[in-house]
């Protein structure tokens, strides 16, 4: 019988810490760490896609001692290498005040960063990921305080109102609402928690009555600092925007001062003079 060929390793995950070896790390922790890294390698956004597509999953090739080293193979190796390198650059840009991280990439990466930080804290170690072609040169490393450091630097919280179109309402494990927001490529997943005096189930029911309609939702937002990109939003209440007569709106603008342009013979010439 021919010997089965072992798949070629794509990247290596190492638990680096004093006295660590594979037998000291429960399989549950290994599974959680590899699942988080699989999300990064596949480019999955956990807010939009529940599971990694089968053609982008990773598998375990081998386990080696010397700390705890896990050799992994990716079903789509080129894409995995690209995404892991991209994540390494993202981590670097977070600590650089002159750079602006990609908002959507950052949102997709926050949950894996949190999961890896919690595992690093549990075993007092750091987790390194390196390519099989350069095993001694980690693409990135996650330590126990990284999530807290990144979240403290990036996020700010406050009450606000956002407008958007309701796409979906409900949820098996929690009440959620999916909204389409202007100038945002991806949909916004919102938690629903009614303000005091209103039942959350009743608020969800009312939201469901306005599917595919525009609403103004009030609640608590978590923004990415410097860009004001909404990372999380919890709906406390909502209403529908009241649209007036557009001709009355234009007239009110004219009455508030815009009709002064009626007395200007050549507006373009006037504006050119301002610019000179």
Q: Where are the domains of the chain?
A: 11-144, 156-239
Least confident of 35-39, 213-217, 245-249, 260-264: 260-264
Whether residue 12 contacts residue 127, with contact meaning beta carbons closer than 8 Å, is answered with no
> Following DSSP, what letter does each residue of 80-134 receive, concatenated?
HHHHHHHHHHHHHHHT-TT----HHHHHHHHHHHHHHHHHHHHTT-EEEEEETTS
- pLDDT value for 186: 84
- Residue 224, C-beta contacts closer than 8 angstroms, at least 6 positions apart: 101, 103, 106, 107, 154, 155, 230, 231
- Distance between CA 175 and CA 192 in Å, rounded? 6
Average pLDDT score, the chain: 85
**What distance in Å separates the CA atoms of residue 137 and residue 150, rounded to the nearest whole number?**
23
> Residue 119 pLDDT more than 90?
yes
pLDDT of res. 229: 85
| pLDDT surpasses 60 at 274 | no
Taking the CA atoms of residue 177, residue 180, residue 182 and residue 184 in that order, the dihedral angle to the nearest 10 degrees is 90
CATH of 156-239, one of 3.30.70.1090, 2.40.50.140, 1.10.1740.110, 3.40.50.1820: 2.40.50.140
130 φ/ψ angles, rounded to the nearest 5 degrees:
-135, 155
pLDDT in tens, 215-245: 999 999 998 876 788 988 999 999 987 766 7
Segment 173-191 mean pLDDT: 87
Contacts made by residues 203-207, CB under 8 angstroms, sequence distance 24+: 203/235, 203/237, 203/238, 204/169, 204/170, 204/175, 204/177, 206/238, 207/166, 207/169, 207/177, 207/235, 207/238
């Amino acid at each position: 019988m021919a010997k089965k060929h072992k798949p070629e390793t794509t990247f290596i995950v190492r638990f680096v810490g004093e006295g660590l070896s594979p037998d000291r790390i429960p399989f549950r922790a290994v599974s959680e760490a590899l699942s988080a890294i699989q999300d990064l390698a596949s480019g999955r956004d956990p807010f939009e896609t529940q599971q990694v597509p089968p053609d982008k999953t990773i598998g375990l090739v081998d386990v080696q001692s010397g700390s705890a080293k896990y050799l992994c193979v990716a079903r789509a190796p080129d894409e995995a290498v690209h995404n892991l390198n991209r994540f390494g650059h993202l981590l670097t840009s977070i600590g650089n005040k002159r750079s602006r991280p990609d908002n959507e990439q950052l949102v997709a990466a926050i949950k894996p960063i949190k999961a890896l930080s919690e595992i690093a804290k549990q075993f007092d170690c750091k987790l390194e990921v390196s390519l099989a072609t350069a095993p001694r040169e980690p693409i990135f490393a996650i330590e126990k305080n990284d999530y807290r450091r990144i979240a403290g630097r990036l996020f700010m919280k406050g009450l606000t109102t956002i407008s958007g179109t309701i796409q979906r309402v409900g949820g098996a494990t929690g009440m959620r609402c999916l909204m389409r927001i202007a100038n945002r490529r991806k949909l916004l997943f919102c938690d629903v928690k009614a303000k005091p005096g209103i039942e959350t189930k009743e608020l969800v029911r009312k939201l469901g009555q306005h599917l595919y309609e525009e609403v103004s939702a009030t609640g608590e937002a978590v923004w990415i600092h410097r860009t004001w990109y909404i990372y999380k939003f919890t709906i406390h209440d909502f209403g529908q925007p009241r649209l007036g007569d557009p001709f009355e709106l234009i007239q009110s603008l004219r009455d508030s001062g815009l009709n002064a342009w009626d007395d200007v013979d050549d507006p373009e010439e006037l504006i050119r003079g301002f610019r000179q």
